[in-house]
Amino acid sequence: MLPFFCALIMKTEKGKEEARMKENAIEINHLTKYYGRHCGVADVSFSVRAGDIFGFLGPNGAGKSTTIRSMLGFLQYDGEISILGMDARKDHERILREIGYMPSEAMFYPSMRVRDVIRLSAQMRGMDCKQEADMLCDRLKVDTERRIYELSLGNRKKVSIVCAMQHRPKLFIFDEPTGGLDPLMQNTFFELIGEYVEDGTTCILSTHVLSEVKKYCNNVAIMKEGQLVSTGSVSELTHTSSKRVRATVDGQAVDYLYTKDMNSLLKELGGRNVTDLTITDPSIDEIFLGYYSKNDNREEVKK
């Protein structure tokens, strides 16, 4: 009887593990990467739920790209990465088949025509993606007859989006995707993401643009100096009600972070001569600052 129970317990545990893997599109455990003596990322662990739009937030040099490049097998690393239930080291090729990746630089072979780059990307996957590629080119207004060296960064990014999406992957990895794209194209891009995610695709969006994360992502991981500062839902992590206030009050320019209730701000300004007023989201560093301050029970961060 004992071996039977042992086998049953093991089977149940294995089932739980498989279910967890299915639930999480990405699982990163203790990821550490050194470039010589310099630490790229240190002991980073987080997971991304399947079907989620996950923001990966941090300033330049925070370790976002290192994490992504480790996931894609561009770098050797310590720790464990599991993508779509597969081991990133062992099943590298199979994983790449299911991924649509858009690098931050979006560089292609300069002498190739756009249509040839898109076709090469599909052929390497052994797929005929013509219909999907045509739809994407149409919506993103990509001129497929032009050569890559004729394209601006924004247009190269659009080609990169087509290459990443045309095979309808299970996972998108976008590294600073909107840089160079005009606002109209940014809108179309996020519309497309929304449509694919509705069909079950997971999306990880690495960026330092806070507004993108706040607007489009459900969950977020915040990186700073190679370390994971925090992870959780967007509303949780950006809960700080801080606003950057820039105004000209009584002829004097003021610029500060306001963390109290907005009504108090309006009351404060109400009785004074305000000639100019801009209220924006705080920068990512200010959010960090606010976040740390909250941990230290210091609610207000003011200039």
Partner 1 sequence: MMVLFRHEWKQNIRTLLIWSLAVGIMGMICICLYADMAENMADLSESFSNMGAFSDAFGMSVLGIGTIAGFFATEVGVVHGLGSSMFAAIIAGNILSKEEEGHTGEFLYSLPVSRGKVITAKICSIVSALAVFTAVTCIFYILGFQVIDTAPDYKLFAIFMLSQLLMNLEVMCICIALSAFVKRNMTGAGIGIALFLYVYDLMGRIIPDAKDYLFIGPFSYANATDIFAEQEIGPAAYICGGCLMLIALFITYAVYTKKDLAS
Residues of this chain that bind partner 1 (CB under 8 A): 35, 65, 69, 72-76, 92-94, 96-97, 99, 101, 103, 105, 107-110, 117, 120-121, 123-125, 160, 163
Instruction: Using the minimum distance from each CB to partner 1, give the nearer residue, 25 or 301.
Output: 25
Instruction: Using the minimum distance from each CB to partner 1, give the nearer residue, 94 or 215.
Output: 94
CB of 298 to partner 1, least distance (A): 38
The residue among 227, 236, 233 whose CA lies nearest residue 291 is 236
Instruction: Using the minimum distance from each CB to partner 1, give the nearer residue, 97 or 168.
Output: 97
Instruction: Using the minimum distance from each CB to partner 1, give the nearer residue, 21 or 96.
Output: 96
CB of 238 to partner 1, least distance (A): 28
> How distant, in Å, are the alpha carbons of 92, 155, 213 from that of 279?
46, 32, 18
CB of 204 to partner 1, least distance (A): 14
CB of 24 to partner 1, least distance (A): 21
Instruction: Using the minimum distance from each CB to partner 1, give the nearer residue, 110 or 194.
Output: 110
Sign of the torsion angle spanned by Cα atoms 113, 118, 119, 124: positive
Contact 86, 171 (CB under 8 A): no
CB of 202 to partner 1, least distance (A): 16
Q: What is the rounded distance in angstroms from the CA atom of residue 50 to the CA atom of residue 25? A: 5
- Angle between the N-to-C axes of helices 130-140 and 114-124, in degrees from 0 to 180, rounded to the nearest 10: 140
The residue among 109, 244, 78, 103 whose CA lies nearest residue 172 is 103
DSSP state of 80: E
Taking each continuous run of H as one helix and of E as one strand, the counts in the chain are 11, 13
CB of 73 to partner 1, least distance (A): 7
Instruction: Using the minimum distance from each CB to partner 1, give the nearer residue, 4 or 35.
Output: 35
Sheet strands side by side (includes 99-102): 99-102, 171-175, 202-207, 53-57, 219-224, 227-233
